[in-house]
Amino acid sequence: MPASRSAQAERATMVSTEIPPVPLTIEGYSVLHQMMRFRWSAWRLLRPSQKAKIIHEAGGLLAKMEQNPTGQSGLYSLIGHKGDLMFVHFRQSFDELNQVELQMARLRLSDYLEPTTSYLSMIELGLYESTIKAYNELAERGIEAHSEEWKRAIKDTLERQREAMRPRLFPELPKHRYLCFYPMDRRRGEDKNWYTVPIEERARQMNEHGLVGRRYAGEVKQIITGSIGFDDWEWGVDLFADDPLVFKKLIYEMRFDEVSAVYALFGTFYVGLRCGSSELGKLLSGQVPKG
């Protein structure tokens, strides 16, 4: 082998051992979940005319948010003791999410809402396969990780993926009747730690995990959001379906995947029914929304 080729091969071997363990991600909409308790006792003291004005004002704002072309909002009637209402907002940036919060806080309806919790994140797609392919190609070319040339190549890869995945990064808020939301982490314990597993093995497990979800493609819409550095958990999961039973079946089946059985940690689950802006009055009069 000529000396130059031998040196290149040796350098590629050296660089390959330095492949970063972090998978690439692409991000879309900024997302805010707001869980609220409704002050029914105070609401019951209002006259019908007062309630009508409050509902008209809030319903008008919610209607605009439902039709917002650059990120929509939805209202859900929660089931159980964890809250009464959940607002889900998709927006282009955290600035816009903050504006949504301020708009809602100015509503007279906010006098009857008590926040129980919230969740801040961004729609995220993990690129395990593309990451490994890109990292290996760059290593074979002898390009050092995190060098300027490496950064330019990674930037090009991300831009291509963002364009190809745009519909998944900036989706319409699904109009299915039911929503299940929960946050989750990957285990970081002394015995099992997801973040010390080689990237190739993580890619294999995530691929098997994704195969289960794809079997439910016609029954449920799944949106994954990343929240590392934004909230208390690492990811948020939104599942949308017209039959809530699919939530149980899908999540139960996924628990048998290695990635979930060994490494998954789950937070609080919230399940609610979609309530359109036109049904806000019915909901606040004690009627179940039609969706």
Q: Which residues are part of the catalytic machinery?
A: 182
Q: Cα–Cα distance between 80 and 64 in angstroms, integer? A: 28
Chain centroid, CA 95 distance in Å:
18
Element containing residue 123 per DSSP (H, E): strand 113-126
- Residue 244 CB partners (closer than 8 Å, separation 6+): 178, 180, 271
Please give the sequence-ordered ranges of beta strands (E in DSSP) within 178-275, or none if there are none: 178-186, 220-226, 235-241, 264-266, 270-275
User: Per DSSP, what are the bridge partners of residue 273?
Assistant: 77, 178
In three state form, how does the secondary structure of 166-193 look?
A: HHHHCCCCCCCCEEEEEEEEECECCCCE
Q: Comparing C-alpha atoms, which of 268, 251, 245, 224 is closest to residue 86?
A: 268
Q: Cα–Cα distance between 283 and 85 in angstroms, integer? A: 10
